[in-house]
Structure 1
């Protein structure tokens, strides 16, 4: 019989016994804080472990012997090899083998050539399944060293409350409390549009550690009253909920918030109210202001958010509505208000509002938490990835905390998608074995303990920023973001009027040379691709654009091969001068790293609708043929260009599956009428189009 102990975020939740006649388990009763009697593992039990810990126990039992045989062989650090189940593994260190090419990988712990445990991580949890006595070879060592002899509590469900907002609408709110705690306690608040019951178990670990946990359905969602209008009411509703928590008999009036994506947005919205009870944020892949992030990036309308809009179009979250094989046809429907009618059979009222409010008016400004940044003073731990489709939201959050005292800000920025910290490979782009962190859940708890319980646990000491450099595949630290040890480098666009495609003569050079221009025809009926899978709801993935860049509606400007390595860290700013035969169009810029084989891997991109070149509130249409200056700031990246690689800037006017194609008419992206536009980029001393970025230097 083999006995394994299952932990999540440092808490022992179950014992798993692999016997010849089957699998048995004894599970922690979280309410009494005592273990249940040993029992055979049923199909329902296995489903429970798979859903809550992302470990399929039955499947693992079948593989254990094969794993033991495989890992008795000698492998080198970073060496890749396959198991008989066609899984790819690579050696991280002396005791850990990490799984590649898989979301939520199952990493393996090996001691003295024996398989003794497994590790699986997500955005908010790290799960360890380990043979008793080998805990110190896993992330559990970190928990034991920093929180020894931790006291854990049983859980009491206090009830579901309909909490009344200032306008009389009541929001369904679940309250959980630790049992046998006499004093008033701090609270962790989670507000979600996805159904609060779906995430109860994610936050049990905080209740077990002496926190009240309050989970609320936002307005119009699941069991809450009101009309669902994304982001519109979250500042006021967040503040009213904070006030309600502070008024409860069990509350010590110190509240923290946690969550990712929309659950991150509601944190910053609440913080922008200036509420005095909000003392800590754990902001994970947060969404930002509507015209900077979603859904109107740069004034263009992101078609990539349609999958999300479908999933939240009903009262209850329905992710199956994202899974379609006809997205190409759906996204071509005009007018846009007909998309949901044809695809789903009903209107999506909030999407219709997005269409009706064409410019940045009061409707959009209500959702703009960043514009109220002078009221945001809450200590914040920020987590995001370079390829997070909400990374512009994180950029805005980083802008807010950059002036905080050092001990009130922390950021972890990795090579991750929106589903952060869950994969080491994206679209055949490989990162290091160290790309996934085992310590994020420890950071989250430590941040709350420090800011809500006022425990001096050193989480606020050391360098506040940790970031991952792609190419070097290294984690680095910095005092702030943007990082300090950089110099600004500017490269200028240049060509002999033939920058079309990557095979043209477009160059990025260090000196502003002769005047010139490059023109391309943008046909909205044939937009350039943006490499994503719509059903995955990940619209910022890296990808190889080598084939896309062969299109003649894409201008490419490329450096010579680098003779020395160069690391850029931060956002990229593209300043360019352009004209169009149309009164309005879109501009899309993309920076790629071109390797010696010619693969062109996307690093960052940016979008701007031409009429919003000066501001989003007062659109200014172009005059045909007149030259205008445009500036686009991209998302952030840290990337090392290797010797022999090249940097490439591409400029075009479309990105299919990312933004709805601009019609080149005054009706923008929502028009049945399309016209082809001749769009021209100018460069040289009169029109010094350029790209600037921050290059790391030795500090």
Structure 2
């Protein structure tokens, strides 16, 4: 769901009317006219009671109540008053769907016409005045990504709970909000899709067709978008598995920038009748599409590619065997790397890819279902203690691809066949711009491609741009606030609309290189509001702060030491059979800045206050000297900055499986009760200025929660283990000479 809608749904109640009630005469849900009147009366009474009692309604609630009460002119003024200092979405005004809705209601009254006619006129006027770039993103702003059914169900649920003749003010506001979302998007989305399509066809020649791959006769669905009246141009291709109506934006956008936009979808999607098999065929299918593009009269022989996540993976996959001759550059953002960061990371399978399988394979487009189903499933699995491979049995729907995936827990030939592997990176010799974020879920996949490419082709023209963005922000236009962290102004760049196409103009049209690319590695320093530029990832830091694990305990935590202490052992115990407690459930950086964290989960180490400002630049590494009572275990290391103001700033984290510490390709079990050294380095890159007086917080923990596999330590295939294999609690004796290495940039 889009950020705008999330903010609207989750905004806290802003008026203090507890204990008060408002009259509510309930109508039957099936009686549309009476229901509309009942909700309008509720909105009017809400406004009236607030006015009588002199209680202010927060503007982000006020405008929607005014719209429902029929106060449309007032609502528009309220909406406009909320825009000061608020950036819109993709260049469109903030709260645009609601302003257009209110304007249509006014026109409906003035012209004595139906709402559909009035809204179509208001919308078409807005669309005609949009630039090509704004038109390419307008459906993102005006539609809900298939959430109308959710809004409908949410309203009906709230309406059923409400009972007259009076409800509380809190209940009234919740009901009004849910009715508002249901009303606005239920009534406008069908019109929006139709009018946008009409305007697109007026400006562009849009062709949808099915092409047949000469490699293996696969059917691939392709959409081509060309600005009317143009000749042969470079083509920009997006290849995706996410086939739905909004994807055409990825072809409209290049066409609006002076290119031919091409959207292709994975075999089995769209017009294709083949089987849907994620990740398996892109190395052939993308190559075939690029070859087809190069032979079309509207292409000048040059093709570029862009896109994020799966679409980033597809770009790298296309070059596995060789680089397509017409492919001149790629811009992979937040690129997924199968077997590296999805569906497993450091050989631990996460749970979220399970639901992703249904999302992309259940039909030719996308399968939208209730989030609660997946949340209930992972919690039910966790509480049951069932083996991981019984997940679909608990769900009640067979999932063959899930079983296929978990049957390959090592990075073996199954995963290696999907993307370039080792010296297959050597022949990739086209310019590349990689983009990812410090808080991108797929950062380790994106960095795998980048690091491997330069390892096997050191002279490659491969650039990296990384900043304080998440998986979505690093492939679009990042918002000003990310999970409670206010981005520096320097980090608020338009990635999708500006940086990416400045790069294409540089490579495909001979224009100037984007100014931000002053060196091969370009990164924003959080808290310093500046960019740094280095020739390599290794050059991001010029010092290392090494910390050891102190045995002295105070206020529930241990100390981090800068000098190696006398060797002792600290005990970390995880009862894998206990479902009343989770371990490492809070490693994920949400929020990024918090007032407090759980200091009772795992072993917590805190350093002394820094004597001067420090810039942490790069990926932290570590070395744990450890004795385990089991043959294997999963563990985590999470880093925070504890600021002088008492805030916890999430820096980075690592989750891994001990038996794959030496290689993700070969499992090497531990000898129980024998000391071993486990090293780790595949951690998330971050750049953050840490203030004088701040302290470093390190949490070492075992992994037992509903979000990933649970490793019971028997040495068997982890997917087959169950709570019956838990036996004695996992006991880790961690030596104090274990160390955590923090990469630092010293500006002195």
TM surpasses 0.5: yes
TM-score by structure 1 length?
Answer: 0.73
Does the alignment pair 1:281 with 2:337? Answer: no
Query: Does 2:597 match 1:542?
Result: no
CA distance in 2 between counterparts of 1:528 and 1:504 reads: 17
Q: Structure 1 598/247 Cα, relative in aligned 2: closer, same or farther at 3 Å? A: same
Hey, what does 1:34 align to over in structure 2? Answer: none
Alignment of 1:134-213 (within 5 A): 154-164=203-213, 166-182=215-231, 184-195=232-243, 197-213=245-261
The 1:447–1:560 alpha-carbon spacing in structure 2 relative to 1, beyond 3 Å, is same
Q: Deviations over 1:588-645 (max 9, x none)?
A: 1111112345543321111221111222332111111111111122110011221222
Calculate the aligned-residue CA RMSD, in Å. 4.0
How far apart are the structure 2 equivalents of 1:293 and 1:484?
Answer: 24
Q: Which of these residues, 516, 528, 544, is aligned with residue 489 of structure 1? A: 544
Deviation at 1:409, TM superposition (A): 3.8
Superposition map of 1:26-37 within 5 A = none
Cα gap change, 1:604/1:19 in structure 2, threshold over 3 Å: closer, same or farther?
closer
Match for residue 475 of structure 1 among 530, 541, 559: 530
Q: CA deviation at 1:50?
A: 9.0
Match for 2:310 among 250, 255, 262? 262
- Taking a change above 3 Å as real, the CA distance of residues 163 and 339 of structure 1, as seen in their structure-2 partners, is same
**Worse overlay, 648-657 or 669-678:** 669-678
- Cα distance in 2 for partners of 1:425, 1:38 equals 32
Residue 506 of structure 2 is aligned to residue 450 of structure 1: yes
How far is the alpha carbon of 1:547 from its aligned partner? Answer: 4.0
CA deviation after TM superposition for structure 1 residue 546, in Å: 4.3
Report the CA distance shift for 1:522/1:220 in structure 2 as closer, same or farther (over 3 A): farther
Kindly state the Cα deviation for residue 208 of structure 1 after the two structures are TM-superposed.
3.4
Alignment partner of 1:514 is 2:566: yes
Match of 2:664 in 1: 616
Change (3 A) 1:230 1:202: closer
Indicate if the aligned counterparts of 2:525 and 2:532 stay in contact, CA closer than 8 A: no
Write out aligned runs for 1:672-683 (5 A): 672=722, 673-675=724-726, 676-683=728-735
1:326 aligns with 2:413: no
The separation in 1 between residues aligned to 2:411 and 2:607, in whole angstroms, is 37
Match of 1:111 in 2: none
Secondary structure at the counterpart of residue 174 of structure 1 = strand
Aligned to 2:709: 660
SS at match of 1:252: strand
Q: How does 1:383-402 map to 2 (within 5 A)?
A: 383-400=435-452
- Cα distance between partner residues in 2 of 1:461 and 1:299: 34
Alpha carbons 1:219, 1:228 under 8 Å: kept = yes
The question of whether the paired residues in 1 share the 8 Å contact of 2:617 and 2:685 is answered with yes
Listed as ranges, the matches of 1:352-371 within 5 Å are 352-369=403-420, 371=422
CA contact 1:256–1:280 (8 Å) conserved in 2: yes
| Residue 671 (structure 1) aligned with residue 721 (structure 2) | yes
2:139 is matched with which residue: 40, 48, 52?
A: 52
Partners of 2:557 and 2:599 within 8 A in 1? no
Deviations 1:24-59 (A, max 9, x none): 9xxxxxxxxxxxx9973159989x999525269xxx
Q: Secondary structure at the match of 2:264?
A: strand
* Cα pair distance change 1:170/1:541, threshold 3 Å: farther
| Cα distance change on mapping 1:401 and 1:503 into 2, 3 Å | farther
- Unaligned ranges ≥5, structure 1: 25-36, 57-85, 87-152, 533-537
What displacement does 1:270 show?
1.2
SS at match of 1:176: strand
Q: Which residue of 2 is the match for residue 105 of structure 1?
A: none
d(CA) in 2 for partners of 1:612, 1:545: 35
Match of 1:414 in 2: 467
Choose 239-248 or 258-267, whichever is displaced more. Answer: 239-248
Structure 2 equivalent of residue 98 of structure 1: none
Equivalences for residues 308-327 of structure 1 within 5 A: 308-315=356-363, 316-324=365-373, 325-327=375-377
Question: What is the match of residue 40 of structure 1?
Answer: 121
SS in 2 for 1:188: strand
Contact kept? 1:566, 1:642, Cα under 8 Å: yes
Query: Cα 1:431–1:212, aligned 2, differ >3 Å: closer, same or farther?
Result: closer
- Asked if structure 2 preserves the Cα contact closer than 8 Å seen for 1:531 and 1:541, the reply is no
What is the distance in 1 between the residues matched to 2:88 and 2:697? Answer: 46
* Counterpart in the other structure of 2:481: 425
Return the offset for 1:220.
3.2
Deviation at 1:232, TM superposition (A): 2.1
Q: Check conservation: 2:545, 2:744, Cα contact below 8 A.
A: no
**Which secondary structure state, in structure 2, belongs to the residue aligned with residue 680 of structure 1?**
strand
CA distance in 2, matches of 1:607, 1:528: 12
What corresponds to 1:68 in structure 2? none
Q: Deviations over 1:272-318 (max 9, x none)?
A: 3322322111211111251x312221111112433433422412312
Is 1:637 the equivalent of 2:692? no
Whole-angstrom distance in 2 between the partners of 1:531 and 1:557: 16
* Partners of 2:540 and 2:617 within 8 A in 1: no
Q: 2:289 maps to which residue?
A: 241
Counterpart contact for 1:402–1:480, Cα < 8 Å: no
Confirm or deny that 1:566 pairs with 2:608: no
Deviation for aligned residue 1:567: 0.9
Matched residues in 1 for 2:583 and 2:738: separation?
A: 22
Is this contact kept in 2: 1:11–1:205, CA < 8 A? no
Cα pair 2:221 2:269 within 8 Å, conserved: no
Match of 1:441 in 2: 497
Matches of 2:666 and 2:331 in 1, distance apart?
Answer: 35
Gaps of 5+ in 2: 1-72, 81-86, 109-117, 128-134, 144-172, 174-201
- Distance, in Å, in 1 between the alignment partners of 2:576 and 2:269 is 36
What are the superposed Cα offsets for residues 652-697 of structure 1, whole Å, 9 maximum, x if unpaired?
A: 111534422212222325422242444334435xxx4211122112
Structure having the larger proportion of residues in helix: 2
Alpha-carbon deviations, 1:85-121, whole Å to 9, x = none? x9xxxxxxxxxxxxxxxxxxxxxxxxxxxxxxxxxxx
The alpha-carbon distance between structure 1 residues 678 and 546, as it changes in their structure 2 partners (threshold 3 A), is: farther
> What is residue 22 of structure 2 aligned with on the other side?
none
Partner of 2:8: none
1:530 matched residue in structure 2: 585
SS of equivalent to 2:369: helix
Structure 2: distance between partners of 1:510 and 1:489: 11
Deviation string 1:502-558 (CA, Å, 9 cap, x unpaired) is 8445322222120111111112244314338xxxxx88763649443313xx11222
The verdict on how the C-alpha distance between 1:8 and 1:21 changes in structure 2, with shifts beyond 3 A counting, is: closer
Paired residue for 1:135?
Answer: none
CA spacing shift, 1:21–1:222, aligned 2, 3 Å: closer
Structure 2 Cα separation of the partners of residues 407 and 622 of structure 1: 39
Count of matched residue pairs: 574
Distance 1:631 1:465, change over 3 A: same
Indicate how the Cα distance of structure 1 residues 696 and 441 shifts in structure 2: closer, same or farther if over 3 A, else same: same
* Structure-2 change in CA distance of 1:622 and 1:465 (3 Å): closer
Deviations 1:389-437 (A, max 9, x none): 1010122233256588999444332212111143333443444455432
- Aligned mate of 1:590, from 611, 634, 638: 638
